[in-house]
Structure 1
Amino acid sequence: MSEYFGTRRFTLADQADFAELSDDRNPMHMDPLVARRTQAGDQVVHGVHGFLWVLEMLAGDGVALDRMNSVRVQFTKFIIVDRDVTLHIRSRDESMIKAELMVDRLSAAVFILKFGSRSAARTDEALSNLPSSDPLTQPFVPSFEEMGTLSSWLPPPHRGKDGVERLFPMLCRSLGPRTVLSLAQLSSLVGMVCPGLHSIFSNFSLAFHESGTDRAGLGFRAVDADPRFRMVNMDVAGANFSGSVSAFARPGPIESPNMETIAALVAPDEFEGRTALVVGGSRGLGAATAKILAAGGANVILTYMRGREEAEAIADEIRIFRADPASARLLSYDAGGDPEEPLASLPVISHLYYFATPRIFLQSADAFSRIAYESFSAVYVAGFYKLVHFLTSRSDTKALSVLYPSSVAIEERPKGMTEYAMAKAAAEILCADLARATPGLEIATPRLPRVQTDQTATVLPVPARDATDVMLSLLRHGRLDEGVRLDPPSPDSANATLNVEKRKSASLA
């Protein structure tokens, strides 16, 4: 049996309502610029919000949730704000319901509800008597070691009582507002307290009792923090339920070294005389490149599409270090669009560094997605061509040195990256033909291995090269030095080399 049960699109207004209800204001859910630097790449729906919506739908269908004696929930995929999520009932009888949330035909969460008699009142004295924490205003940022020692009683959100019956009226009639509010606080436990700021909710299991603690709120106690998986396991107790919660401590944003650190690696005149356009310079490889070039004497223009504050911080750091307001400029530019208007104020550019990219890691139920391929191609192929044409048309000599990072994904073909690899391969062909057809144009297309950036960050450590080391090697020597490889290296990417289309003047240094 499999039954479609409904579709919902969680909006920004829904996010704000649930944050007010639960006190979970983790920026992964609330701030689009912060969220884009997480593993999700965009604002994420609170997982517990999805769970409570499922219960609300079931309650509205007449399911006697007051007979529910246990629930197990496993979150498997991020639900992005403003995208359709569908609810399916996979199996159903008097004693059990298995439900699933799907996004793009992929599983996002699985729920197993069991029904029957509930156990008698159970009160965990150790949890019930924990001291209350202060009201939650900002996410905690404990060390991983500290996470394994945390415990507290989270008081109910100040405005939660007003919103719970409005957001979940049918569920409140079945379980009671106090229990629903305690369930909502599972979200704030993970997103605001433990692990806190850098967290991903993994799963929880709860048993429901005839009655429980009279204390409003949610108590928790960390049981252990497993460094192998960066997972924190906790015991919890709330209104009429107790159980366990598991969450991952994810890595935070990858920041480039400061100018002083980079300047120690670069001669002050190493890149002097360059006027460099760094497309996608607000973070990752682009930010590292801008700082390296500026430390070596180049004047840089950074472009950004969404991360103005991040790009402005990098530009300010360069200007202060160089004591020269003209050493770094900012321009807003969508690399998938036309460059004429946003880049009209550019001086003649001597060097172009092209780091513009959509979200790289996409999940799909299909072997190929035309929409994903067109999204990559709009930036990697069409957008790049328009930019190069624009820049060379403004120069009498058409002289332009270009670094266009390609990827070893073309050779390695990792699962789920078909469209990305296809677009990068097409871009390499374009670069070769452009360079042959345009006197004075030099384009280098290094196939880079996995590099430490926000997009490649994972909960479990994966070998990746340092962005500053990689870019220093490319800018200075035109190839990847052996010294920038991390242990253990990816076997197929160890010999990544720099392909230069103009052989007689190949160096980017």
Structure 2
Amino acid sequence: MTTLATRRFTAADQARFAELSGDTNLIHLDALGARRELYGRRILHGLHGTLVAVEALFASDPSGTPRRLTHCRARFLAPVFLREPVAITLGHRGETEARLEVRRDDQVLYEIDVGWATGAPEPGVTVPAMRPPDGRPSAVRELASLCGLRLELPLELDDAAFRRDFPTLARATSASQRSAMLAVTRLVGMESPGAQSLLSSFDLAPATEGPPLALRCVVTAADARFSLVRMDVTGGGIAGKVEAFWRPRPVPQPTFADLATLVPPNAFAGTRALVVGGSRGLGEVAAKAVAAGGGDVVLTYRRLRDEARRVAREIRAGGGRARVLGWDALAPAPAAAALARRAWAPTHLLYFATARMHPRKPGGYSAAAFHRLARLYVDGLVDTVRACRGLGGGPLVLFVPSAALVAQPPRGSAELAAAKLAGEMAARALAQQDRAIRLVMPRLPRLATDQSQSLVIAAAEPTTSLVPHLLALAAPPAGAVP
């Protein structure tokens, strides 16, 4: 295996490709909106990563021999995230074909098969210049409505920008083929499936059928079992098949008003609750519930302050008390010092810090993944508890939600289950060492949050199922000073 190139894709790279392709789907561009989508952050356009990989392959040949692209097949096994290093590797190379992989550490993210022939491509037709983005959002379509859908996307191209970013690939394709390839990502991200799309694979080759200046698409299947949409495409000098997932919509969180109907108004009176990871998911639900019960809440964030501020504003608008605080569980001292300056010490610590999950194929075991997860669920928990205990010696209620999956991990969850189990052991050790800590550590079932979404719909309980566990914390620990 030979490494052809390494990359860290940036938000600027992403914006430039969105302008080149016309695929402005928010999962690629909107940092805040992507937090509530399937992967919790922005992901690279699959076609962008593919073109970068093919460019690296063609650029690695110093001979300068003219070539034309004869096929390009790509399978997207897991997403590429912004700012994370990936490697483009050459798994096999023959005289006229090659297998490429895009990797993160030992995980294969993309598999790409490329073929070529000697000789320059036919010049093809002149393609109209790319129009400025019109700000139109992605189409919102239901999965059941997609089968049989027919679309035709006009081709357009900023050829100077394409040649700047992919110079050797540009010499191996005609202008219409370049614009048609870019239209594939625009088709998926903007039209079919549209707003809720995720490119799964494509298999494209030069062809003469179809309109010369449009990409024609027919949706041949919409498989509800796997949320998978299959399409045939022709036009612009290419033809082939495209598959895309219809990804689930973001899970709506219960509002402060919703939770106020489930929590007695004075259930948490006198409680000062530090909710680590309170800007989204179960942490957001917990912050709202405690505030609805009269508690004074400090909810923390690590990256996206605006998300935490939105939650705090909702709580305050409903009559609750909430502030936000940047908190890194693996380095909590600066944030703890900020609380000390305010003379604010928690009576309750709710630890909802959640590690980013890197999607991968089920089976096997990754020691690196376990250690990354354990740093947050063990080291982060211990460091956070110690930082809180340093703020005052009073009693502390420690809420550490674990997961039912530790007893019987689903396929692909061994590392998460092991890290969660290690976190349970660390929490028990903390409570044994410090008798002023009262530990509450339920093993929760799968609850329906944006953090538990998957492409295949799985049964999950509503997040309001968390409320009875929170009410077990309602009585302040003996000796607490309000």
Distance 1:39 1:88, change over 3 A: farther
Aligned residue in 1 for 2:454? 458
Select which of 389, 392, 403 maps to 1:392: 389
Whole-angstrom distance in 1 between the partners of 2:345 and 2:98: 65
Whole-angstrom distance in 2 between the partners of 1:433 and 1:366: 30
Aligned residue in 1 for 2:90? 88
Q: Secondary structure of the equivalent of 1:428? A: helix
Whole-angstrom distance in 2 between the partners of 1:433 and 1:115: 61
Q: Secondary structure of the equivalent of 1:186? A: helix
For the Cα contact (< 8 Å) 1:381–1:423, is it kept in 2? yes
For the Cα contact (< 8 Å) 1:254–1:284, is it kept in 2? no
Q: Give 1:318's aligned amino acid.
A: I
Aligned residue in 2 for 1:472? 467
Q: Give 2:374's aligned amino acid.
A: S
Q: Equivalences for 1:209-248 in 2 at 5 Å?
A: 209-210=207-208, 213-215=211-213, 217-248=214-245
Whole-angstrom distance in 2 between the partners of 1:462 and 1:206: 33
Distance 1:9 1:429, change over 3 A: same
Select which of 303, 306, 328 maps to 2:303: 306
Deviation of 1:342 after TM superposition, in Å, equals 4.1
Aligned residue in 2 for 1:175? 173
Deviation of 1:163 after TM superposition, in Å, equals 0.8
Q: Secondary structure of the equivalent of 1:86? A: strand
Gaps of 5+ in 1: 122-131, 479-503
For the Cα contact (< 8 Å) 2:302–2:328, is it kept in 1? yes
Q: Give 2:258's aligned amino acid.
A: T
Aligned residue in 2 for 1:107? 108
2:52 is aligned with 1:53: yes
For the Cα contact (< 8 Å) 2:38–2:250, is it kept in 1? no
For the Cα contact (< 8 Å) 1:285–1:468, is it kept in 2? no
Distance 1:467 1:361, change over 3 A: farther
Aligned residue in 1 for 2:151? 152
Aligned residue in 2 for 1:22? 21
Deviation of 1:150 after TM superposition, in Å, equals 4.2
Q: Give 1:444's aligned amino acid.
A: V
Q: What TM-score do you get using the length of structure 2 for normalisation?
A: 0.84
Deviation of 1:343 after TM superposition, in Å, equals 3.1
Q: Secondary structure of the equivalent of 2:420? A: helix
Q: Give 1:195's aligned amino acid.
A: P
Gaps of 5+ in 2: 123-130
Aligned residue in 1 for 2:125? none
Q: Secondary structure of the equivalent of 1:203? A: strand
Root-mean-square deviation (CA), in Å?
3.0
Whole-angstrom distance in 1 between the partners of 2:136 and 2:467: 41
Whole-angstrom distance in 2 between the partners of 1:21 and 1:263: 47
Whole-angstrom distance in 2 between the partners of 1:73 and 1:426: 38
Greater relative CO, 1 or 2 (CA 8 Å, sep 6+): 2
Aligned residue in 2 for 1:128? none
Whole-angstrom distance in 2 between the partners of 1:410 and 1:79: 28
Distance 1:293 1:72, change over 3 A: same
Deviations 1:350-380 (A, max 9, x none): 221110121145549973434x444333332
Distance 1:97 1:426, change over 3 A: closer
Aligned residue in 2 for 1:488? none
For the Cα contact (< 8 Å) 2:268–2:293, is it kept in 1? yes
Q: Give 2:416's aligned amino acid.
A: Y
Q: What TM-score do you get using the length of structure 1 for normalisation?
A: 0.80
Number of aligned pairs? Answer: 454
Deviations 1:456-492 (A, max 9, x none): 21011122222221x11212358xxxxxxxxxxxxxx
Distance 1:235 1:416, change over 3 A: closer
Select which of 247, 250, 257 maps to 2:247: 250
Percent sequence identity over aligned pairs: 33
Whole-angstrom distance in 2 between the partners of 1:53 and 1:450: 38
Distance 1:225 1:414, change over 3 A: closer
Whole-angstrom distance in 2 between the partners of 1:177 and 1:166: 14
Whole-angstrom distance in 2 between the partners of 1:295 and 1:406: 23
